[in-house]
């Protein structure tokens, strides 16, 4: 395959791609122009599928009357939320029975409320004593998916809030925290990630990974140079990072979120476990090409981020390349961006020598 020749390497010095940021910006501009058209496509697609939904619902009801219920807690997460793998490829759908738990609503609400208070205390320098004293309670909570999910979601939420006095610096992408706060966060993130690893609970772990590259502390060394220490640097020893299944799931989650944010119309809709094709109602080839280009830029951007994260967490170049080899094939990344991605990955791995 031509793709394999690209990623397995060719003799000679690789061509490093310049102006990647400009490329993504131009694609983003085109993508923004498509949002209105894509909304129209969505409306038309929903209209086409309305009758199919009614039929599917009727079929589902009849099936349940016959006792044919093959759904489980592992398919539907806490509070009826869809499970992480509900729309994922079959090879990635299986979760351990402990990964998704079914707690009574009142108990689940208590988990979420208590963990919210834990995190609020963690983010204040004077809250360390209270958090440490009650660490055993937190440990009990994160033995359940509800607790792990609540911790990851609340941490991500707090990392996105502005004007919190506990943070010395904040932009839309990163937050600076005191050293004591970073140390406390690292301890509880490590505990949660260990439970995620034991239970193959990848969704909370993916959220923690995202936040870990945004929170940092700042120091000035003896030479007067400013040194930034990110949260992820205290999480490098997690065995979860060695799991290919985790990385595949994390990319899937990231792509789904990005598509929702960009309002991309999916090619298929899952109706009662029956895949129904959504037909584009426009013959405008230019719009279709621009939509494909937008999809390609989303995939390229996300895979670039994940390659950098794997490198930063100490994974080998071979492991990173193997991961990318599967992903670019599954996502149908354009050959041009395959070359761009490979060149960039080789560049930061070679700079580490």
Q: What's the CA angle centered on 341, arms 336 and 343, to 5 degrees?
A: 95
Amino acid 342: pLDDT: 95
Amino acid 128: pLDDT: 83
Q: Which range (111-115, 157-161, 213-217, 236-240) has the least confidence?
A: 157-161
Amino acid 181: pLDDT: 92
Amino acid 191: pLDDT: 97
Q: Which of 123, 190, 188, 202 is nearest to 161 (CA)?
A: 123
pLDDT interval class at 100 (50, 70, 90): low
Q: Is the pLDDT of residue 169 over 80?
A: no
Q: Strands 268-271 and 175-176: what pairing? A: unpaired
If you average pLDDT over residues 17-27, what whole number do you get?
A: 44
- Whole-model pTM? 0.66
212 Cβ contact list (under 8 Å, min separation 6): 189, 230, 231, 232, 235
Cβ pair 265, 38 in contact under 8 A: yes
Amino acid 334: pLDDT: 94
If you average pLDDT over residues 249-265, what whole number do you get?
A: 84
Q: Which range (39-53, 98-112, 309-323) has the least confidence?
A: 39-53
Amino acid 111: pLDDT: 94
Q: Which of 12-26, 46-60, 67-81, 202-216 has the highest mean pLDDT?
A: 202-216
Q: What is the DSSP letter of 265?
A: P
Amino acid 353: pLDDT: 62
């Amino acid at each position: 395959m031509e793709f394999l020749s690209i990623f397995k390497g060719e003799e000679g010095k690789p061509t490093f791609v310049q102006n990647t940021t400009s490329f993504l910006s131009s694609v983003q501009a085109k993508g923004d122009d498509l949002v209105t058209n894509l909304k129209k496509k969505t409306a038309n697609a929903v209209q086409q599928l309305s009758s199919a939904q009614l039929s599917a619902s009727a079929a589902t009801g009849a099936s349940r009357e016959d006792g044919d219920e093959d759904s489980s807690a592992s398919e539907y997460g806490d509070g009826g939320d869809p499970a992480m793998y509900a729309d994922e490829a079959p090879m990635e759908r299986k979760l351990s029975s402990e990964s998704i738990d079914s707690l009574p609503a009142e108990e689940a609400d208590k988990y979420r409320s208590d963990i919210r208070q834990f995190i609020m205390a963690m983010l204040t320098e004077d809250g360390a004593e209270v958090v440490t004293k009650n660490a055993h309670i937190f440990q009990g909570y994160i033995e359940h998916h509800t607790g792990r999910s609540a911790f990851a979601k609340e941490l991500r939420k707090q990392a996105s809030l502005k004007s919190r006095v506990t943070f010395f610096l904040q932009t839309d992408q990163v937050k600076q925290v005191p050293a004591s706060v970073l140390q406390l966060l690292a301890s509880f993130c490590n505990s949660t990630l260990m439970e995620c690893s034991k239970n193959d609970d990848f969704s909370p772990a993916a959220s923690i990974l995202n936040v870990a590259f945004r929170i940092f502390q700042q120091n000035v060394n003896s030479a007067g140079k400013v040194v930034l220490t990110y949260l992820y640097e205290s999480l490098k020893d997690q065995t979860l990072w060695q799991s290919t299944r985790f990385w595949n799931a994390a990319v899937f989650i990231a792509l789904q979120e990005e598509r929702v944010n960009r309002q991309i119309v999916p090619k298929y809709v899952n109706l009662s476990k029956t895949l129904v094709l959504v037909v584009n109602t426009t013959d405008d080839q230019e719009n279709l090409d621009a939509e494909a280009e937008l999809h390609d830029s989303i995939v390229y951007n996300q895979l670039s981020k994940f390659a950098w994260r794997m490198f930063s967490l100490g994974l080998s170049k071979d492991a990173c390349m193997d991961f990318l080899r599967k992903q670019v094939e599954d996502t149908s990344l354009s050959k041009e961006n395959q070359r761009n991605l490979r060149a960039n990955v080789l560049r930061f791995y070679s700079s580490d020598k």
